[in-house]
Structure 1
Amino acid sequence: MRHSREVFMAGQPPQIPMPNPPDIQDGDEALSDISPDTVPPNGETNEQKTAREKKNNAQQAWCNRAQHPKEEWQWYQSACRDVERRRLAVEAAYERLWDEEAERQCQDHDAARASASRNLEPEFMEVAGHMVFTMPYANVYPLVEEMAAIENPTPNQQ
Protein backbone atom coordinates (compact mmCIF):
# COMPACT_ATOMS: atom_id res chain seq x y z
CA MET A 1 0.00 0.00 0.00
CA ARG A 2 2.78 2.40 0.82
CA HIS A 3 4.44 1.64 -2.50
CA SER A 4 1.36 2.73 -4.46
CA ARG A 5 1.23 5.94 -2.44
CA GLU A 6 4.89 6.61 -3.18
CA VAL A 7 4.29 6.04 -6.88
CA PHE A 8 1.32 8.41 -6.76
CA MET A 9 3.32 11.01 -4.85
CA ALA A 10 6.19 10.91 -7.33
CA GLY A 11 4.31 12.87 -10.01
CA GLN A 12 2.49 16.16 -10.18
CA PRO A 13 -1.19 16.59 -9.30
CA PRO A 14 -3.55 15.71 -12.14
CA GLN A 15 -4.36 18.56 -14.51
CA ILE A 16 -7.99 19.61 -14.92
CA PRO A 17 -8.68 20.89 -18.45
CA MET A 18 -10.20 24.34 -18.89
CA PRO A 19 -13.48 24.53 -20.84
CA ASN A 20 -13.40 25.79 -24.42
CA PRO A 21 -14.29 29.47 -24.78
CA PRO A 22 -17.58 30.23 -26.54
CA ASP A 23 -17.51 30.90 -30.27
CA ILE A 24 -18.68 34.52 -30.22
CA GLN A 25 -18.08 36.68 -33.27
CA ASP A 26 -17.27 40.39 -32.96
CA GLY A 27 -20.06 41.23 -35.42
CA ASP A 28 -22.80 39.76 -33.21
CA GLU A 29 -25.32 42.37 -32.21
CA ALA A 30 -25.87 43.39 -28.62
CA LEU A 31 -29.17 43.78 -26.83
CA SER A 32 -28.88 47.56 -27.01
CA ASP A 33 -28.92 47.35 -30.84
CA ILE A 34 -32.44 45.89 -30.89
CA SER A 35 -35.47 48.04 -30.17
CA PRO A 36 -38.32 46.68 -28.04
CA ASP A 37 -41.80 46.08 -29.44
CA THR A 38 -43.04 49.02 -31.46
CA VAL A 39 -46.25 50.79 -30.47
CA PRO A 40 -49.19 50.09 -32.82
CA PRO A 41 -50.33 53.15 -34.80
CA ASN A 42 -53.96 54.39 -34.70
CA GLY A 43 -56.26 53.04 -37.41
CA GLU A 44 -54.13 49.95 -38.12
CA THR A 45 -55.56 47.38 -40.55
CA ASN A 46 -55.41 43.60 -40.05
CA GLU A 47 -52.67 43.32 -42.68
CA GLN A 48 -50.63 46.03 -40.98
CA LYS A 49 -51.19 44.37 -37.58
CA THR A 50 -50.03 40.99 -38.95
CA ALA A 51 -46.97 42.63 -40.55
CA ARG A 52 -46.16 44.48 -37.29
CA GLU A 53 -46.49 41.29 -35.21
CA LYS A 54 -44.31 39.42 -37.69
CA LYS A 55 -41.71 42.21 -37.44
CA ASN A 56 -41.93 42.16 -33.62
CA ASN A 57 -41.48 38.36 -33.61
CA ALA A 58 -38.43 38.75 -35.84
CA GLN A 59 -37.05 41.43 -33.52
CA GLN A 60 -37.67 39.14 -30.52
CA ALA A 61 -35.78 36.34 -32.31
CA TRP A 62 -32.88 38.75 -32.91
CA CYS A 63 -33.07 39.74 -29.23
CA ASN A 64 -32.86 36.07 -28.20
CA ARG A 65 -29.91 35.51 -30.54
CA ALA A 66 -28.17 38.56 -29.05
CA GLN A 67 -28.82 37.27 -25.53
CA HIS A 68 -27.37 33.84 -26.34
CA PRO A 69 -23.68 34.91 -26.61
CA LYS A 70 -23.99 36.82 -23.34
CA GLU A 71 -25.39 33.73 -21.58
CA GLU A 72 -22.78 31.53 -23.21
CA TRP A 73 -20.00 33.85 -22.03
CA GLN A 74 -21.43 33.84 -18.48
CA TRP A 75 -21.55 30.04 -18.56
CA TYR A 76 -17.93 29.95 -19.74
CA GLN A 77 -16.77 32.24 -16.93
CA SER A 78 -18.69 30.15 -14.39
CA ALA A 79 -17.15 26.95 -15.77
CA CYS A 80 -13.66 28.49 -15.55
CA ARG A 81 -14.26 29.42 -11.90
CA ASP A 82 -15.44 25.87 -11.17
CA VAL A 83 -12.37 24.38 -12.85
CA GLU A 84 -10.08 26.71 -10.90
CA ARG A 85 -11.83 25.81 -7.63
CA ARG A 86 -11.46 22.07 -8.39
CA ARG A 87 -7.82 22.57 -9.41
CA LEU A 88 -7.07 24.34 -6.12
CA ALA A 89 -8.87 21.61 -4.16
CA VAL A 90 -6.88 18.87 -5.92
CA GLU A 91 -3.66 20.78 -5.38
CA ALA A 92 -4.47 21.26 -1.68
CA ALA A 93 -5.25 17.55 -1.30
CA TYR A 94 -1.99 16.68 -3.08
CA GLU A 95 -0.02 19.00 -0.78
CA ARG A 96 -1.77 17.51 2.27
CA LEU A 97 -0.85 13.97 1.12
CA TRP A 98 2.71 15.12 0.46
CA ASP A 99 2.95 16.64 3.98
CA GLU A 100 1.43 13.52 5.57
CA GLU A 101 3.92 11.29 3.75
CA ALA A 102 6.83 13.52 4.78
CA GLU A 103 5.62 13.45 8.40
CA ARG A 104 5.23 9.65 8.26
CA GLN A 105 8.76 9.27 6.87
CA CYS A 106 10.08 11.59 9.58
CA GLN A 107 8.34 9.50 12.25
CA ASP A 108 9.71 6.28 10.71
CA HIS A 109 13.19 7.81 10.67
CA ASP A 110 12.87 8.93 14.31
CA ALA A 111 11.60 5.48 15.33
CA ALA A 112 14.53 3.81 13.56
CA ARG A 113 16.99 6.13 15.28
CA ALA A 114 15.35 5.49 18.67
CA SER A 115 15.55 1.70 18.21
CA ALA A 116 19.25 1.89 17.28
CA SER A 117 20.10 3.94 20.32
CA ARG A 118 23.72 4.39 21.31
CA ASN A 119 22.72 3.89 24.92
CA LEU A 120 23.44 0.21 25.58
CA GLU A 121 21.05 -0.28 28.47
CA PRO A 122 20.68 -2.69 30.07
CA GLU A 123 24.30 -3.28 30.88
CA PHE A 124 23.99 -6.99 30.14
CA MET A 125 21.49 -9.44 28.72
CA GLU A 126 20.94 -13.14 29.10
CA VAL A 127 21.80 -15.29 26.09
CA ALA A 128 21.33 -19.08 26.29
CA GLY A 129 21.36 -18.96 30.08
CA HIS A 130 24.59 -16.93 30.31
CA MET A 131 24.88 -13.30 31.30
CA VAL A 132 26.40 -11.49 28.34
CA PHE A 133 27.54 -7.90 28.70
CA THR A 134 26.70 -5.54 25.89
CA MET A 135 30.24 -4.14 25.84
CA PRO A 136 32.90 -6.59 24.50
CA TYR A 137 35.61 -5.69 27.04
CA ALA A 138 33.09 -6.29 29.84
CA ASN A 139 32.71 -9.89 28.63
CA VAL A 140 36.47 -10.48 28.53
CA TYR A 141 37.27 -9.01 31.96
CA PRO A 142 35.11 -11.46 34.02
CA LEU A 143 36.60 -14.39 32.09
CA VAL A 144 40.13 -13.21 32.84
CA GLU A 145 39.29 -12.91 36.56
CA GLU A 146 37.65 -16.33 36.54
CA MET A 147 40.73 -17.89 34.88
CA ALA A 148 43.03 -16.18 37.39
CA ALA A 149 41.02 -17.60 40.28
CA ILE A 150 41.47 -21.17 39.00
CA GLU A 151 44.88 -22.56 40.08
CA ASN A 152 45.12 -25.44 37.62
CA PRO A 153 42.70 -24.89 34.71
CA THR A 154 41.88 -27.90 32.60
CA PRO A 155 42.35 -27.68 28.80
CA ASN A 156 38.58 -27.46 28.49
CA GLN A 157 38.45 -24.42 30.81
CA GLN A 158 41.31 -22.76 29.01
Structure 2
Amino acid sequence: MKLLTLDTDYEYDFDLYGLVSPGKDYTIAWWLNKLFDLRLIKQKDICYTLAEREKLLIANYEFSTEHSVIRLFRNKALGACTARKPYLLPDLKEYDFVLQISGSLPKLYPHNFINTLLHIPLVQYVKQFDPLSLKFKENLIF
Protein backbone atom coordinates (compact mmCIF):
# COMPACT_ATOMS: atom_id res chain seq x y z
CA MET A 1 0.00 0.00 0.00
CA LYS A 2 1.35 3.37 -0.99
CA LEU A 3 1.77 5.86 1.86
CA LEU A 4 0.96 9.49 1.14
CA THR A 5 2.31 12.32 3.22
CA LEU A 6 1.03 15.83 3.51
CA ASP A 7 3.75 18.37 2.90
CA THR A 8 2.78 21.88 3.95
CA ASP A 9 4.75 25.09 4.00
CA TYR A 10 3.81 27.60 6.64
CA GLU A 11 4.63 31.26 6.46
CA TYR A 12 6.74 32.43 9.34
CA ASP A 13 6.19 36.12 8.65
CA PHE A 14 6.59 37.40 12.18
CA ASP A 15 9.30 38.91 14.31
CA LEU A 16 10.52 36.75 17.17
CA TYR A 17 12.36 37.87 20.30
CA GLY A 18 13.74 35.88 23.20
CA LEU A 19 13.78 37.52 26.64
CA VAL A 20 15.82 36.48 29.66
CA SER A 21 14.02 37.51 32.83
CA PRO A 22 13.44 36.04 36.29
CA GLY A 23 10.07 37.87 36.42
CA LYS A 24 6.60 36.38 36.30
CA ASP A 25 4.74 36.30 33.00
CA TYR A 26 2.01 38.70 34.19
CA THR A 27 4.65 41.22 35.29
CA ILE A 28 6.40 41.12 31.91
CA ALA A 29 3.01 41.50 30.19
CA TRP A 30 2.22 44.51 32.39
CA TRP A 31 5.53 46.18 31.49
CA LEU A 32 4.99 45.54 27.76
CA ASN A 33 1.51 47.04 28.04
CA LYS A 34 2.92 50.10 29.77
CA LEU A 35 5.92 50.68 27.46
CA PHE A 36 4.20 50.03 24.13
CA ASP A 37 0.63 51.06 24.96
CA LEU A 38 -0.66 47.53 24.39
CA ARG A 39 -3.32 45.45 26.08
CA LEU A 40 -1.81 41.98 26.38
CA ILE A 41 -4.46 39.80 27.98
CA LYS A 42 -3.98 36.36 29.53
CA GLN A 43 -5.38 33.69 27.24
CA LYS A 44 -6.05 30.04 27.91
CA ASP A 45 -2.76 28.19 28.43
CA ILE A 46 -1.54 26.38 25.33
CA CYS A 47 -1.46 22.62 25.82
CA TYR A 48 0.89 20.45 23.76
CA THR A 49 0.62 16.67 24.04
CA LEU A 50 3.95 15.01 23.41
CA ALA A 51 4.58 11.50 22.08
CA GLU A 52 5.28 10.08 25.53
CA ARG A 53 1.84 11.28 26.76
CA GLU A 54 3.36 14.24 28.54
CA LYS A 55 1.51 17.53 28.38
CA LEU A 56 3.14 20.91 28.25
CA LEU A 57 1.15 23.90 29.47
CA ILE A 58 2.52 27.18 28.16
CA ALA A 59 1.43 30.59 29.53
CA ASN A 60 0.00 32.70 26.73
CA TYR A 61 -0.79 36.44 26.48
CA GLU A 62 -2.19 38.09 23.37
CA PHE A 63 -3.02 41.51 21.98
CA SER A 64 -4.72 41.70 18.59
CA THR A 65 -5.87 44.47 16.38
CA GLU A 66 -7.32 44.47 12.91
CA HIS A 67 -3.82 44.42 11.41
CA SER A 68 -1.52 42.81 13.94
CA VAL A 69 -1.10 40.23 16.69
CA ILE A 70 1.38 40.32 19.55
CA ARG A 71 1.89 37.25 21.69
CA LEU A 72 3.95 36.70 24.80
CA PHE A 73 4.72 33.12 25.82
CA ARG A 74 6.54 31.68 28.78
CA ASN A 75 9.10 29.40 27.16
CA LYS A 76 9.22 26.84 29.99
CA ALA A 77 6.14 24.73 30.72
CA LEU A 78 4.01 25.57 33.73
CA GLY A 79 3.91 23.29 36.76
CA ALA A 80 5.91 20.16 37.40
CA CYS A 81 6.59 18.71 33.98
CA THR A 82 8.74 15.60 33.67
CA ALA A 83 9.28 15.87 29.92
CA ARG A 84 12.87 15.80 28.67
CA LYS A 85 12.41 19.14 26.93
CA PRO A 86 9.75 21.11 28.86
CA TYR A 87 10.02 24.16 26.56
CA LEU A 88 7.83 25.74 23.91
CA LEU A 89 11.02 26.27 21.87
CA PRO A 90 13.75 23.87 23.07
CA ASP A 91 16.14 25.65 20.67
CA LEU A 92 15.86 28.72 22.93
CA LYS A 93 15.88 27.04 26.34
CA GLU A 94 18.16 29.80 27.71
CA TYR A 95 15.33 32.31 27.21
CA ASP A 96 12.48 32.61 29.71
CA PHE A 97 9.98 34.32 27.40
CA VAL A 98 9.22 34.46 23.69
CA LEU A 99 7.65 37.54 22.12
CA GLN A 100 6.02 37.03 18.71
CA ILE A 101 4.96 40.06 16.65
CA SER A 102 3.06 39.57 13.41
CA GLY A 103 1.11 41.87 11.17
CA SER A 104 1.48 45.46 10.19
CA LEU A 105 2.50 47.19 13.36
CA PRO A 106 4.57 50.29 12.85
CA LYS A 107 7.97 48.75 12.34
CA LEU A 108 10.49 49.76 14.93
CA TYR A 109 14.09 49.20 14.12
CA PRO A 110 15.06 45.99 15.91
CA HIS A 111 17.88 47.74 17.74
CA ASN A 112 15.53 50.45 19.10
CA PHE A 113 12.89 47.86 19.99
CA ILE A 114 15.43 45.77 21.89
CA ASN A 115 16.70 48.85 23.75
CA THR A 116 13.13 49.69 24.76
CA LEU A 117 12.58 46.12 26.01
CA LEU A 118 15.74 46.43 28.08
CA HIS A 119 14.10 49.34 29.93
CA ILE A 120 11.91 46.76 31.68
CA PRO A 121 13.62 46.39 35.08
CA LEU A 122 13.27 42.58 35.15
CA VAL A 123 14.58 41.98 31.62
CA GLN A 124 18.26 41.08 31.59
CA TYR A 125 18.81 40.25 27.91
CA VAL A 126 16.89 40.34 24.61
CA LYS A 127 17.74 38.84 21.25
CA GLN A 128 15.91 38.74 17.93
CA PHE A 129 15.67 35.39 16.13
CA ASP A 130 14.85 34.33 12.62
CA PRO A 131 11.96 31.84 12.99
CA LEU A 132 13.19 29.87 9.97
CA SER A 133 16.44 29.06 11.77
CA LEU A 134 14.66 27.23 14.62
CA LYS A 135 14.24 23.47 14.64
CA PHE A 136 10.94 23.59 16.59
CA LYS A 137 9.41 26.56 14.75
CA GLU A 138 6.20 24.56 14.19
CA ASN A 139 5.38 25.11 17.87
CA LEU A 140 4.63 28.73 16.98
CA ILE A 141 1.87 27.85 14.47
CA PHE A 142 -1.60 28.29 15.95
- With normalisation by structure 2, the TM-score equals 0.21
**Structure with max Cα Rg:** 1
TM-score (norm 1): 0.20
Higher helix content, 1 or 2: 1
Structure number with the bigger relative contact order (C-alpha 8 A, sep ≥ 6) is: 2
